Chains A and B, each alone.
Chain A
Amino acid sequence: MSKVNKQSLWTSIKSKYSIYFVLIVLFLVCWLANENFVSVENIKNISTQISVGTILAFGQTILIISGMLDLSSASVLALAGVLSVSVYKMTGSLLLAFVAAILVGVICNILNGLMVTRFKTPPFIATLAMMTIARGAALMYTNGQNIYQIGAYIKFGQGRILGMPTPVIFMVTLLVLTWYLLRHTVFGRSIYAIGGNEEAANASGINVNRIKMQAFIINGIFVGIAGVLFMSRVNGGMPNGAVGYEFKALTAAVIGGTSFSGGIGTASGTLAGAFIVGFLDNIMVLVGVNSYLQQIVRGAIIALAVIYDIWAKTKRTKRKLGSAEAK
Chain B
Amino acid sequence: MKKWLVIALIVSMMASLLTGCSQPAPAAAPAEPAAAPTAAAEQKEYRVAYIARAQADSFAAWLANAVKEEAAKYDNIKLDVFDGQANDDTENGLIENAITNKYDVIIVQPNNGEAQRPYVEKAVAAGIKVITTNARISGIPGSSSVDADPYMQAKVNCDLAVSQVPQNAKVVVLMGPPGNFHADARRESWKKEFFEKRPDVKIVGEEIANWNKDEAMNYMETWVQANDKIDAIIAMNDNMAAGALEVIKDNPKFKNTLAYGVDGTAEACLLIEKGLMTSTSLQSAYDLATSLLDTTNKLVTGAEKEINMDIDCPLITKDNVQKYIEMHKKAGAIQ
Contact = CB atoms under 8 A, between A and B. Distances in A.
Interface of A: 34, 36, 39, 41-42, 45, 48-49, 135, 139, 143-146, 148-149, 158, 230, 233-236, 238-243, 281-282, 285-286, 288, 291-292
Chief secondary structure at chain A's binding surface = loop
A281 B219 CA distance: 9
Interface of B: 55-58, 60-62, 64-65, 175, 178, 205-208, 212-214, 217-219, 221-223, 225-226, 242-243, 246, 265-267, 270, 333-335
Given A45-B222, A49-B221, A285-B207, A135 B56 contact: yes
A281 B218 contact: yes
B58 A146 contact: yes
Contact of A144 (B55, B219, B226, B267): B55
Contacts of A146: 58, 265, 267
16 contacts: A36-B225, A42-B222, A42-B225, A45-B221, A45-B225, A48-B221, A49-B218, A139-B56, A234-B217, A236-B267, A238-B58, A238-B213, A240-B58, A241-B213, A243-B56, A285-B223
B213 A236 contact: yes
B208 to A, nearest CB: 5
Contacts of B246: 158, 233-235
A239 B57 CA distance: 9
Contacts of A241: 212-214
A184 to B, nearest CB: 34
Given A139-B56, A286-B226, A291-B208, 13 more contacts: A36-B225, A36-B226, A41-B225, A48-B221, A49-B218, A135-B56, A144-B55, A144-B60, A144-B62, A233-B246, A234-B246, A238-B213, A285-B205
Of the listed residues B213, B219, B243, B334, the one surrounded by the most CB atoms of chain A closer than 10 A to its CB is B213
A6 B217 CA distance: 48
B214 A233 contact: yes
A67 B266 CA distance: 45
A144 B61 contact: yes
Nearest to A289: B207
Given A36-B225, A233-B214, A286-B226, A148 B270 contact: yes
A236 B206 CA distance: 25
Given A143-B61, A241-B214, A291-B208, A148 B222 contact: no
Contact of A145 (B62, B213, B242, B243): B62
Given A135-B56, A145-B58, A236-B267, A34 B214 contact: no
B334 A240 contact: no
A281 B178 CA distance: 19
B172 to A, nearest CB: 10
A149 B56 contact: no
A148 B65 contact: no
A230 B243 CA distance: 12
B324 to A, nearest CB: 14
A288 B219 CA distance: 11
Given A145-B62, A148-B266, A234-B246, A286 B222 contact: yes
A36 B223 CA distance: 10
Shortest 8 CB-CB contacts between residues of A and residues of B: A144-B61, A285-B222, A42-B225, A45-B221, A240-B56, A36-B226, A291-B208, A234-B213
